Amino acid sequence: MKKAVSLMALCAVFGATAAASAAQTALPRGYEKWEKSKARINTDKKSLFYGIHYIYVDKKAMKGYKSGGAYPDGSRFVAVNYSIKEENGKQVPGKKNMIVVMQKDRTQQQTGGWRFAGFTPEGKPSGLDGKRDCFGCHEKDAKDRDYVISRYTDFK
Ligand code: HEC
């Protein structure tokens, strides 16, 4: 009997672990082939996005992006950030330093129905928390555009 109880406890722990990892967002494979923005520069040294970044948008997100409207579940954005390098008086991308992902998931009510995730340049989870580290800016800047800050019109 005792054994049965501990087995059940073990199952509960595994179940919880599986649920937690399912809620984690993976870096999408092949995002480099999605539609890509021109280089976008942010010179505010205090910003998480200080540097030069590109935004990648998957097919599912494109309709909402173009209309500035709502996004179906599964829509994904990836932004890849680089340091700023001076080259012949021009600012060009230097070293890759961060990858961030937004994936639409209606169940994530605390963060506007999106999963926010941060990754190292190698694509490993960087331990950033969507609610604590990401949602604030997106809520402030783009509440009326389903929390997507950039616009398709300034994409190209
Ligand atoms: C300092 C404010 C700020 C914080 C904090 C922030 N973002 Fe953003 N994010 C922005 C801005 C501004 C843009 C638009 C950039 C542009 O116009 O090129 C953006 C764009 C994005 C995009 C492209 C889609 C869009 O909204 O335009 C993704 C994906 C993204 N952020 C994910 C994240 C994740 C994940 C985190 C947390 C790890 C995070 N962001 C934290 C300000 C922020």
Q: Which atom of ligand 1 is nearest to the CA of 100?
A: 35
What's the token pair of residue 48? 């998480």
Q: Is 41 in the pocket of ligand 1 (CB under 6 A)?
A: no
Could you give the CA distance from residue 32 to residue 30 in angstroms, rounded to a whole number? 5
105-115 per-position pLDDT tens digit: 999 999 999 99
Single-letter amino acid, residue 155? F
Contact 24, 18 (CB under 8 A): no
20-75 per-position pLDDT tens digit: 444 578 999 999 999 999 999 999 999 989 999 999 999 999 999 999 889 999 99
CA distance to 62, 97, 103, per residue, from 74 (Å): 12, 25, 6
Q: Is 149 in the pocket of ligand 1 (CB under 6 A)?
A: yes
